[in-house]
Amino acid sequence: MIFDRNEHKQVVALLGAGSMGTAIVRRIGAGKKILLGDISEETLQRVCEDFRRCGYDAETMQVNALQKESVEAFARKAAELGPVMYFIGTAGASPNQANPEHIVDLDMVGTGYAVDAFGEVMAAGGAGLIISSQAAYMYPIPNDIELQLVQTPTAKLKEVKFIQEVAMQNSGFAYMIAKRLNHLQAQRAAATSWRKRHARINTISPGVVVTPLAYDEFNANGEGYQNMIDASASRRTGTSDEIAEAAVFLLGEHAQFITGTDLLIDGGVIASIRTGQFQLQG
């Protein structure tokens, strides 16, 4: 049975075929060609099968977001499939999944590679979204260092003294800095490479969203997360579907004046920290 005979479809590329990414693509992928990228072949096969069974036109490519060449090949493949209208970047590791250097390499540098590579292939009118984190709001990087970082090419980020020091500290700190860098990477792209292609790019910074990645955090620091959630205005965790609803807006036609910005969706955690209702430990 052939579900869709249309050719020349617009392309949706997802790097990191996990919970949030697939929830987003499910909402925007109907009638489009979906290219799923992930390091895990097993994840790719499972997710692709799910999409196909639900009537989506999906295919996969194994990608290692740590490797520039691999990410560039993914972007080229997306462009070969048709006009790339959407790019969603979610590949990442959380503090309890990886050491600080890996977090710098994946969440920071790897995301930079993806933003750069898709900045070469996006179709005019297209839109991108990077999943950052509420952690981006937890440590203010001094302005002069932020300016230096936003002006540093992705491949040279690890030559910056500040980043070298971050990679030697703990994973939680590396995660905060890496996720803040995602905001800066989207801002830079919005103002330069993506702008040139008449494409928009934004970030979403989710709070605690129950996914396999979040379970690794709960298992390592359940009490800390419980206290954070309890002190927040919403008093609950979030779901991938709630993040995806906001993603649909940011990627869609009603958000055409929105580029280079971040949307914090955290149930009020950062508000409780900023107002002294909750103190971060460590």
For this structure, is 175 an active site residue?
A: yes
The stretch among 32-40, 149-157, 225-233, 248-256 that binds ligand NAD (CB under 6 A) is 32-40
C-alpha angle 189-193-196 in degrees, rounded to nearest 5: 125
The stretch among 87-95, 118-126, 140-148, 149-157 that binds ligand NAD (CB under 6 A) is 87-95
- Name which of 131 and 176 has its Cβ closer to ligand NAD: 131
Among 45, 64, 96, 221, binds ligand NAD (CB under 6 A): 64
**38 lines the binding site for ligand NAD (CB under 6 A):** yes
Q: List C-alpha distances in Å: 262 to 94, 131, 153.
A: 19, 10, 21
Contact 139, 173 (CB under 8 A): yes
Helix (H, G, I), strand (E, B) or coil at 195: helix
Total residues found in the chain within this entry: 282
Among 95, 100, 128, 206, binds ligand NAD (CB under 6 A): 206
**268 lines the binding site for ligand NAD (CB under 6 A):** no
**17 lines the binding site for ligand NAD (CB under 6 A):** yes
Q: Residue 178 is encoded by which pair of tokens?
A: 């890496």
- Name which of 94 and 154 has its Cβ closer to ligand NAD: 94
210: CB partners within 8 A, 6+ apart:
237, 238, 239, 240
The distance of closest approach from Cβ of residue 279 to ligand NAD in the complex, given in angstroms and rounded to an integer, is: 20
Contact 150, 187 (CB under 8 A): yes
Site size with ligand NAD, rule: CB under 6 A: 28
Among 14, 24, 28, 63, binds ligand NAD (CB under 6 A): 63
Residue 73 burial (CB count, 10 A): 15
Which is it for the CA torsion 68, 70, 72, 74, positive or negative? negative
Residue 24 burial (CB count, 10 A): 28
Q: Which residue in the list 86, 113, 179, 225 is annotated as catalytic?
A: 179
The distance of closest approach from Cβ of residue 260 to ligand NAD in the complex, given in angstroms and rounded to an integer, is: 19
Q: List C-alpha distances in Å: 184 to 71, 103, 107, 190, 191.
A: 19, 17, 13, 10, 11
The distance of closest approach from Cβ of residue 70 to ligand NAD in the complex, given in angstroms and rounded to an integer, is: 8
Among 94, 152, 185, 232, binds ligand NAD (CB under 6 A): 94
- Name which of 152 and 237 has its Cβ closer to ligand NAD: 237
Instruction: Give the binding site for ligand NAD (CB under 6 A).
Output: 16-20, 38-40, 43, 63-66, 90-94, 106, 131, 133, 206, 208-209, 211-214
By annotation, the residues acting in catalysis are: 175, 179
